[in-house]
A and B are shown apart, each in its own frame.
Chain A
């Protein structure tokens, strides 16, 4: 039984969630990695070093340049024959392409698994993580996305996999990449950060994020996150959103500032090791999951916190 893991990477290298997907796949047996894109030489080299990976398939072609679902799914389906399980992390890219792969194989995908029971049986959160379903698949092949926060990533170094180049068949071009507007930040990524400082509607505007939360995050070497309300109001970009429909995170320390604690927000952060809540409303639901709660006005607490660090 061999699994194929689609590797998420960008200019900075391989994404941590990809190594969590490898960790999940290793519970099933041997693991091969797939690096697909345009000009992926260095990503392929990096993938070969991931602990536990025994082979890296490299598909380097202009058509794969922006991980568009249509050509990428066609590629994976073409490789599927040799594999019992096809996996990726449940990143935006993985969630985009893997269900497409599954449908082409007439398979019901297993989305966002949080545990591997056996080769056919997996645990996955439903209802915003308010329930955990153990499901058994009767499909011959499994198509899976992996909740990265539920699996400790394997080491980035230590492996020594062989690299095999794949020829990429041309597929009709029905979609076209136009442009990206990516948020630039020197801070760690939300899904890889050890500490996250998140702001909600209580922050009142984007300026307060910059003035009050950013310096605190920098002191702590933390990433900055946000509630949906803060994103919807335009305080911060969409990729800051933590929650059921944003990013799922489980850092060592999550500091929620001016966030009430709606179930959809808790869904994205309640597996954090330590949760701190700062809120002026002592009855805010966020305090029900917080290890340490501080009731008060964030506009006095945040400057004080930054000064005392």
Chain B
């Protein structure tokens, strides 16, 4: 069984982003970039499924600029077998990424696609669901547990009231939530080995996909800053402030 895992190159989660002074976008020049944290979890799950024997080959795909190769290398060092970079300078939206993934999933005849539930830059939380729709496959979003057996995936999902378990007929799409697993660090030997693995580079046109954005960003602004508050010396003062100043209790 072949598995495709989607990995996005994003601003590292530790970076406090700044809005550009012309309000056109967030500053990304000279900022540390990493694999989207949810995608690390997706890659880890893929590797565990392979280790368990449920999966025979893992293909890691990233779509974006040339440097997204580094993100694919990270996935290869964690245990993915080969990579595909869909190279483009266009700022991709989930609809476009879903179409690219759809084309590759079909071409490679994969049985399972794993994605992160959300990219921490655009916070869309959409690509996996959209891919499942385009393929006509079932979806298991916000997964905290995945089991593969008898042509089915049993997925436990993090929902608003707690957990929900669904059974999906393969082929299927699953998106990873935070508690699915704890991603491994790639070992040095595995990083060395990853250098020899292949990354195919294709263009959206090669896959027959139009990636023209549907959204235009008119402006990007800083959210209103909170006014600095005060420190109170004790519980009595705190309660007094909450009762008589803020009037919230």
A contacts, CB < 8 Å to B: 10, 66, 68-70, 73, 91-93, 95-104, 106-112, 121, 124-139, 174-183, 191, 195, 220, 228, 231-232, 237-239, 244-245, 247, 252-253, 263-264, 270, 273-276, 282, 287-295, 301, 304-305, 308-309
Q: Cβ of A175 and Cβ of B219 under 8 Å apart?
A: no
- 1/0 per residue, CB under 8 A from A, across B161-198: the answer is 11111111100000001110000000000000000000
B124 touches A131 (CB 8 A): no
**Residue numbers in B under 8 Å from A180 (CB-CB):** 159, 161-165
| Cα A182 to Cα B156 with chains together (Å) | 12
Question: Given known contacts A103-B95, A195-B248, A253-B246, is B215 in contact with A138 (CB within 8 Å)?
Answer: yes
Q: What CA separation (Å) do A70 and B38 show in the bound complex?
A: 23
Chain B positions within 8 Å of A, measured between CB atoms, are 11, 13, 16-17, 19, 26, 38, 93-95, 98, 117-118, 120-134, 137-142, 144, 154, 157-169, 177-179, 213-223, 226-232, 234-236, 238-239, 241-242, 246, 248-249
How far is the CB of B231 from the nearest CB of chain A, in Å?
4
Tell me which residues across on chain A come within 8 A of B124, comparing CB atoms: 99, 109, 111
CA distance A92 to B16 in the complex (A): 27
What are 14 A-B contacts defined by CB distance under 8 Å? A69-B132, A69-B138, A92-B160, A99-B128, A111-B124, A127-B120, A131-B26, A131-B223, A174-B137, A180-B159, A237-B163, A239-B162, A252-B248, A292-B229
Report which residue of A111, A275, A282 has the largest number of chain B beta carbons within 10 angstroms of its beta carbon. A111
User: Is chain A's binding surface mostly helix, strand, loop or mixed?
Assistant: mixed
In the complex, chain B residues whose CB is within 8 Å of the CB of A295: 231
Among B122, B166, B169, contact of A177 (Cβ-Cβ < 8 Å): B166
Q: Which residues of A contact B216 (CB under 8 A)?
A: 135-136, 138
Contact A270 B231 (CB under 8 A): no
| B162:A181 contact, CB within 8 angstroms | yes
Assess whether A70 is in contact with B139, with CB atoms less than 8 Å apart: yes
CB-contact partner of B123 in A128, A220, A275, A294, under 8 A: A128
Residues of A within 8 A of B179 (CB): 231-232, 238
CB <8 Å contact, B215 and A92: no
In the complex, the answer to whether B223 meets A125 with C-beta atoms within 8 Å is yes
Q: Are A245 and B178 in contact (CB under 8 A)?
A: yes
- A302 to B162: give the CA distance in the assembly, Å: 27
Indicate if the CB atoms of B219 and A134 lie closer than 8 Å.
Answer: yes
Residue of B nearest to A129 (CB): B223
CB contact between B242 and one of A92, A247, A274 (< 8 Å): that residue: A274
In whole angstroms, how far apart are the Cα atoms of A183 and B159 in the complex? 11
Query: What 9 pairs across the A-B complex have the smallest Cβ distances?
Result: A103-B130, A103-B133, A99-B126, A99-B129, A108-B214, A175-B138, A291-B229, A182-B162, A92-B159
Q: Give the distance in Å from the alpha carbon of A275 to the alpha carbon of B217 in the complex.
A: 32
Q: Is the CB of B238 within 8 A of A294?
A: yes
Docked complex Cα distance between A159 and B130 (Å)? 34
* Shortest Cβ distance from residue B27 to the other chain A in the assembled complex, whole angstroms: 10
Question: Which chain B residue has the least Cβ–Cβ distance from A305?
Answer: B235
User: Given that A182-B161, A239-B160 are known contacts, is A132 also in contact with B221, CB under 8 Å in the complex?
Assistant: yes
